[in-house]
Amino acid sequence: MNPYEALKGFAMKQFFSYLDRDPETNIPKLLDMLEKHDKDGNAVTLETRGVRKLISDPNSNWSKLLKSLWTDIDAGQRRILAANAIINGTLIGTPKTMKLQDKYQCNIPWTILIDPTSACNLHCIGCWAAEYGNKLDLSFEQLDSIIKQGKDLGIYVYLYSGGEPLVRKADIIRLCEKHNDCAFLAFTNGTLIDDAFADEMLRVKNFVPAFSVEGFEEATDSRRGEGTYRKVIEAMARLKARKLLFGISCCYTSKNVEVIGSEEYFDAMIDMGAKFAWLFTYMPIGADAVPELLVSAEQRKFMFDQIHKFRSTKPIFTMDFWNDGDAVGGCVAGGRGYCHINANGDVEPCAFIHYSDSNIKEKPLLDCFRSPLFMAYRRNQPFNENMLRPCPVLDNPGRLTDMVEESGAHSTDLKSPEKACDYCNRCVFTAQRWALVADEIWQSLPNRWGVQRTGKMAKKS
């Protein structure tokens, strides 16, 4: 170990020891210290003030969530995840990424979503993985190379999807061991998490699952197969017993949105031990798409209102990847915040955008980020000056078609390739209806991005 790494390790150990002694008292003190050393008085001060406001009331949902990270989560895992995701991924990785973005004039993401395999033990309605079939895999060496290249670019947080990523349990644990300075999360159906794998998770400590659940038993089993919900609940209980961090991943559709957005559902997931919830809306991808599952404008607003209400009442962290564009400046795909690498090695802008002009087997990761498709994303983001209409497909159909045609990208769906215009056309009516509602909401929100509030598409200079 070089002297710098030894010093960093010592400093981190002291930092976490200080927090663990009295988190309620010492977290505000650390926020004070950050503000004091924020010489520009900009981002850090604003963020620390926001955090302090959220946790100032000891009875607030945010204070309860924060406290639960000490009472409910294994101390070793808490320290490793904080070190890998916050210190490595943000404090060390982000400045490096920003310098490289300036140098190469391209997007470099904070995290990469990778499909280790297209294989799955289930066949869920509306899942994009079903379009790839069950015959694609990235080898351990290819996965290892992606992570090595990513760390060279300042990327220390990696997500897995599929297929079912835990079909590759052994390789996932090996990658956690080899890259113990990274944080790994997986979107999983949860049915393969047995006692042995839960013990491995506790041993490596840098792996976190997000369980895919579509509501309660009837809704989950109707989409994922009979008995799935029971197996997921059993897996959650295993992790809770071991004090391991986990969350949920919910795809809301026209059929289940009222359940997913209900207090009853969120309270149940919190009681089971979930600390975060990633929310997605149904996208009509591929030949087997069911456009009727697209949520209506009224249903999408219902979810927007519910999640914003829960953020002041429920002790769980939530992110809605379509309705939170105002918080992140619109679309985060195309390497702006993240990108997707499928099980064939195709580097895609988004898990819901199955088009690519680069493959990780053929060129370095940085060259993939500088490809014509990713550069088109960089030039065109945000796709709408109303950040509540972030998506180039669901909210602005036609924007994806333009970028695919301009870049010469191809469909990565090996089973049923489709034109980008056909994909976008399924969303035209939905986009038109949502625009009326989203523009009204947008006018009422704080103007944190300094954009004009006309609700029209963003103009590029």
pLDDT tens for 164-201 read: 999 999 999 999 999 999 999 999 999 999 999 999 99
Convert the pLDDT of each residue in 333-385 to its tens digit.
999 999 999 999 999 999 999 999 999 999 999 999 999 999 999 999 999 99
Q: Give residue 72's pLDDT.
A: 97
| Closest listed residue to residue 228, CA positions, set 176, 259, 189 | 189
In the block, residue with structure tokens 């030894």:
6
pLDDT at residue 133 greater than cutoff 60: no
pLDDT at residue 51 greater than cutoff 80: no
| Closest listed residue to residue 244, CA positions, set 295, 190, 282, 286 | 190
- In the chain, domain spans: 10-87, 104-446
Q: Give residue 458's pLDDT.
A: 41
**Mean pLDDT (the chain, rounded):** 88
| Closest listed residue to residue 132, CA positions, set 334, 339, 420, 344 | 344
Pair of tokens at residue 243: 């004090």
Convert the pLDDT of each residue in 393-426 to its tens digit.
999 999 999 999 999 999 998 888 999 999 999 9
Helix residue spans in 88-187 (DSSP H):
93-104, 140-152, 169-178
Give every CB contact of residue 419 below 8 A, 6+ residues apart in sequence. Answer: 401, 411
What architecture is domain 104-446?
A: Alpha-Beta Barrel (3.20)
Give every CB contact of residue 27 below 8 A, 6+ residues apart in sequence. Answer: 19, 55, 66
Confidence of residue 21 (pLDDT cuts 50, 70, 90): confident
Pair of tokens at residue 311: 């953020």
Other beta carbons within 10 angstroms of residue 155's beta carbon come to: 25
In this structure, is the dihedral angle defined by the CA atoms of residues 105, 106, 107 and 110, taken in order, positive or negative? Answer: negative
